[in-house]
Structure 1
Amino acid sequence: MYKEKMKESLLSQQQHKEGEGEGEGEGEEGEEELTFGEKLWRENKKLWVVAGPSIFTRFSTFGIIVISQAFIGHIGPTELAGFALVSTVLVRFANGILLGMASALETLCGQSFGAKRYHMLGIYLQRSWIILFISTLMILPLFIFTTPLLRLLGQDESIAEMAGTIAKWYIPIMFSFMWSFTLQMYLQSQSRNLIISYLAFATLTIHIFLCWLLTIKLGLGLAGVMISMILAMWIPILGQLGFVFFGGCPMTWTGFSSSAFEDLWEVVKLSLSSGVMLCLELWYNTILVLLTGHMKDAEIALDALSICLNINGWQMMISVGFLSAAGVRVANELGAGSSKRAKFAIVNVAVTSLVLGTVFFIFFLLFRGNLAYVFTDSLKVARAVADLSSLLAFSILLNSIQPVLSGVAIGAGWQSVVAYVNITCYYIIGIPLGAVLGYVLGLHVKGIWIGMLIGTGVQTLVLIYITKRTDWDKQVAIARARLNKWYKERPASDKTQQLA
């Protein structure tokens, strides 16, 4: 009898805590007692707990694609061209949609965790699985009918056939994205993403070994690389699911729930605006490549541009890590009801990213075309890279700020607003201006890139203005209203079991 009364008492206390989880200004009284140095140290610890594993994981994932491409490049030029076409066009298109839609989970999980409504993270995760599974099914025809689509676009017959074969190998990889994106955002919103880094490192090592074994030793060729790539994508997911299901997240994973099928349309709307926002950003560089393909001396221009974008892609892994960190930190603090800590987190992550971006900016200005010889022996291509290196340096500098601001937007739930900003700055200003500079004024690839940089610059200035002018106390209220609207009580039996 006494034990039952104790459980009821503990349940009552827990329910009271959950009800006041997003209490206004929680913890801000104690904030005044800390020195600036103490605040900075505490915030940076929270920042790097998310940013560090996120950066490392993205480097590892990007490394899997680079390693696969390297092995395929030794199989044959047609296989390499087919792989490049599928990975840079089809996969980037699908990636943009799925990653964008999954970023809604970052908003919801981050704010719920800050508000101490821990069990809602598991429900949001399950809702996101449902939405992304349906989205993946809708994208699937692109990978099934790749060859006829490429023929329709006038692609070379042999490359179209090879791309179609590779696209079918990519189907299980596509279904892995719905799990990997959502699990990463679920885990990093509660600063438990170190497990993702361990699994990513282990998988990268396994992938190198399997590519060598299946491709070179067993002579399976393209099939060997793709089998290894599929395993490399699914092994971390199985590890992460095991971590979540078997006690790694006891506060936030309370089992499968029928509540996952409720309020789906509201989550779909947020997911769609998130998808549009990130898709418009991820497809921007693809358009740069497509426009360059119609230039005079397109082969040299494309080679030089691909080297620059490859370097830019590696650096972007760092920027995207800070994007994730900014989203998590802002969402956590808004959910906790602390506008002051949210603003401090924004300034801290922006300055940290800018300092690193400035270092890279100076590095690429100093070394210019010398970096090209890592990728090519052609003097003409190296000179073309040297000619573009100043634009690369400025791109890297902008990349140190722009993704952070996008992360702030995700954390606050502004995805629909930023989607309109992206459409205007990228597709109404940047691309048309680049086309005029490149084609009309004869600046070629430099003109296209300058125009697109101006579009990115305008977008960055607009986001800085929006962030600076935002009433963050009002954002706390908006976050609270969203969380209250979608809140579901944890079943009493589940609470009792957890306290037993």
Structure 2
Amino acid sequence: MAADTVPLLNERDGNDINKGEKLVSWVKEFGSESKRLWHIAGPAIFTALCQYSLGAFTQTFAGRLSELDLAAVSVENSVIAGLSFGVMLGMGSALETLCGQAYGAGRLRMLGVYMQRSCVILFVTACLLVPIYIWSPPILVLFGETTEISTAAGKFALWMLPQLFAYALNFPLQKFLQAQRKVMVMAWISAVVLVLHVFFSWLLILKLGWGLIGAAITLNTSWWLIVVGQFLYILKTKSDGAWSGFSWLAFVDLFGFVKLSLASAIMLCLEFWYLMMLIVITGHLSNPLVPVDAISICMNINGWDAMIAVGFNAAISVRVSNELGRGNAWLAKLSVIVVSITSVSIGIVCMIVVFATRGYFPYLFTTSDAVAEETTKLAILLGMTVLLNSLQPVLSGVAVGGGWQSLVAYINIGCYYIVGLPAGILLGFTFGFGVMGIWSGMIGGIVLQTLSLIVVISLTNWNKEVSLSACF
């Protein structure tokens, strides 16, 4: 009897050992992938924060001039430049797919070709966006802005045209370097430019009294310094063979590149503009002043937090595209799991911080008790948005890495603009819940979009994606 039980015991122990070894192996792989992820995400988050701060500091210094000057810079920065930023970033995101997979597959020379091709397309796009800057006053009035603010913002928008063309070159250069994981150089360049930007903003805007002209000169110059710094780095290092000089191949197969670029732009802009519309819709309430101020404070907090998600978005798009290009389906899938767990964990911490400080952080932005009280009420929705935005951009990054931009664009249209936006308007105006109802309905759209992406990614055949990546 005892002899009969020995094989059974050995078999059971062997199974336990195998399970233990698999668990240890999985934990090691998780740790290794986490290191690879943070190697990209850390500098990417820092870069995003620095570049986001350029406009934020310009607004801060403009606020020292007058209320009208602050409004002009704020509206131009958030609406006109925000529109251009979304379009350019979206168009440039096509490179995350193409350059990432080409780098993973070892086709380094194509990275330089793709980058130049993207520069051509984005420069043409910038030219098409120029009329929005020229005719921005009537456009802003159409969206409900006052004539005085629209005129001032439109004048400042004309001075900011050089920034538009800096966007056209910055994003292709950025995605080109990002695909090769050369993110530290972008972080250093952005940090140096930010320090210079703060000093010269103080000097030109306040010390020399140049006002908004000084603000425009400083902000335009800062963005062009970023572009020049990145391009000089590429010229000097040759990017390990990824840059071999200017090529006429940049003008070949533009149609297919434009198609992917447009899909990327539509996907990202539908996300980028969604919460921006919250402020516009809230402005149509019967007594909008306090709710708009409160929403603006919440969106400011959400904007800073979103830079963390932007970093993870960049990191996961690089990891997924690189591994698909290498033909490593398992590591691509593991990357998605690791980045999702990491980002959601950070999102939970940020949500707790928002809840814990909801009675205090409003006073960092306002001296009005009414605005602060309204902001405190909205903090619960802000916390939920912060949590959702810790995962949703990451899932979008997975889609960019896999080249699924068109699919996600359709999902965004359905979830955001067919479900979320009408639900917000219905709750806010028809049922009288005001800004709480508007935001709640729009959060519902984010939840539905996030769940849809989770389902899509869960059902993804990563081995099939590897074979499809060879087509790019």
TM-score normalized with structure 1 length: 0.88
Give the structure 2 partner of residue 9 of structure 1.
none
Code of the aligned partner of 1:278: L
The structural deviation recorded for 1:152 is: 5.7
* 1:155 CA displacement: 4.3
Give percent identity, aligned residues only.
43
CA distance in structure 2 between the aligned counterparts of 1:153 and 1:280, rounded to whole angstroms? 18
* Residue number in structure 2 paired with 1:162: 152
Residue 416 of structure 1: aligned partner: 406
Give the Å deviation of 1:131. Answer: 0.5
* Conserved 8 A contact 2:313-2:393: yes
- C-alpha deviation, 1:149, in angstroms: 3.6
Distance in 2, Cα, partners of 1:242 & 1:228: 21
Q: Which residue does the alignment assign to 1:176?
A: 166
The within-5 A match list for 1:218-237 is 218-237=208-227
1:428 paired with 2:414, answer no
Write the distance in 1 (CA, Å) between the matches of 2:439 and 2:325. Answer: 39
Is the alpha carbon distance of 1:426 and 1:151 closer, same or farther for their aligned partners in structure 2, counting shifts above 3 Å? closer
**Aligned partner of 1:70 among 60, 72, 75:** 60
In structure 2, what is the equivalent of residue 367 of structure 1? Answer: 357
Structure 2 residue aligned with 1:81: 71
Whether the 8 Å contact between 2:61 and 2:206 is mirrored in structure 1 is no
- 1:70-219 aligned at under 5 Å gives the runs 70-150=60-140, 155-219=145-209
Alignment of 1:415-494 (within 5 A): 415-482=405-472
The 3-state SS of whatever aligns with 2:152 is helix
CA contact (8 A) 2:102 2:108 kept: yes
SS of 1:294's equivalent in the other structure is coil
- Separation in 2 of the partners of 1:78 and 1:339? 54
Partner of 1:338: 328
239-248 vs 40-49, which moves further: 40-49
Deviation at 1:77, TM superposition (A): 1.4
Residue in 2 aligned with 1:290?
280
Equivalent residue number for residue 30 of structure 2 = 40
Letter in 1 for 2:397: G
The one-letter code sitting in structure 2 at the alignment partner of 1:126 is Q
Aligned residue pair count = 451
Q: Which moved more, 1:74-83 or 1:168-177?
A: 74-83
Partner of 2:269: 279
Q: 1:467 and 1:87 mapped to 2: Cα distance? A: 35
* 8 A contact 1:111–1:332 mirrored in 2: yes
In the TM superposition, residue 158 of structure 1 has moved relative to its aligned partner by 2.7
Q: Distance in 2 between matches of 1:401 and 1:106?
A: 19
Could you tell me how far 1:34 is from its partner in structure 2?
A: 8.9
- Aligned equivalents of 2:396, 2:93: Cα separation in 1: 11
SS at match of 1:369: coil
Deviations 1:115-147 (A, max 9, x none): 011111000001000110110100011112223
Deviations 1:88-133 (A, max 9, x none): 1111111111111110011000000000111110000010001101
Residue 309 (structure 1) aligned with residue 299 (structure 2): yes
Cα distance per residue 1:202-254 (max 9 Å; x no partner): 11110111011112221111111111111111111111100001125132111
1:312-362 deviation per Cα after TM superposition (whole angstroms, max 9, x unaligned)? 000000011111111110000000001100000000011110100011111
Kindly provide the CA deviation profile for residues 245-289 of structure 1, in whole angstroms up to 9, marking residues without a partner as x: 112513211111111111110010000100100010011012111
User: C-alpha root-mean-square deviation of aligned residues, in Å?
Assistant: 1.5
Provide the secondary structure at the position in 1 that maps to 2:451.
helix
Aligned residue for 1:401, secondary structure, equals: helix
Q: Match of 2:13?
A: none
Show the counterpart of 1:243.
233
Unaligned runs of 5+ in 1: 1-31, 483-500
> Structure 2 vs 1, CA of residues 148 and 296 (structure 1 numbering), >3 Å: closer, same or farther?
closer
Q: CA separation in 2, counterparts of 1:270 and 1:147?
A: 32
**1: CA distance, partners of 2:262 / 2:361:** 39
- Cα distance, 1:469–1:153 mapped onto 2, change above 3 Å: closer
Which stretch of structure 1 is more off in the superposition, 40-49 or 59-68?
Answer: 40-49
**Cα deviation digits, residues 460-484 of structure 1 (max 9, x gap):** 00000000001111111110122xx
CA distance in 2, matches of 1:377, 1:150: 28
2:455 aligned counterpart, secondary structure: helix
Q: Measure how far apart 1:154 and its partner are.
A: 6.3
Residue pair 1:369, 1:387 contacting (<8 A) in 2 also: no
Structure 2: 5+ residue stretches without partners:
1-21
Whole-Å Cα distance in 1 between the matches of residues 448 and 242 of structure 2?
Answer: 40
Q: Residue type matched to 1:327 in 2?
A: S
Aligned counterparts of 1:298 and 1:475: Cα–Cα separation in 2: 48
Which residue of structure 1 lines up, in the alignment, with residue 342 of structure 2?
Answer: 352
| CA spacing shift, 1:234–1:381, aligned 2, 3 Å | same
Alignment-mate amino acid for residue 257 of structure 2:
V
What is the CA–CA distance in structure 2 between the aligned matches of 1:157 and 1:39, rounded to whole Å? 59
Tell me the amino acid that sits aligned with residue 98 of structure 2.
L
Q: How does 1:21-40 map to 2 (within 5 A)?
A: 35-40=25-30
C-alpha distance 155-352 of structure 1, shift in aligned 2 (>3 A)? closer
Residue 447 of structure 1 aligns to a residue in which SS?
helix
- Post-superposition offset of 1:38: 2.9
- SS of residue matched to 1:35: helix
Task: Quote how far apart the aligned CAs of 1:180 are.
Answer: 1.3
What is the deviation of 1:304?
Answer: 0.6
Q: Does the CA contact (< 8 Å) of 2:415 and 2:449 recur in 1?
A: yes
**Contact 2:302/2:382, CA 8 A, preserved across alignment:** yes
Q: Is the 8 A contact 1:334 1:479 kept in 2?
A: yes
Q: Is the 8 A contact 2:143 2:280 kept in 1?
A: no
1:404 deviation in Å?
Answer: 0.6
**1:82 to partner: Cα distance:** 1.5
Change (3 A) 1:210 1:246: same
Distance 2:117 2:23 in 1: 41
Length-normalised TM-score, structure 2: 0.93
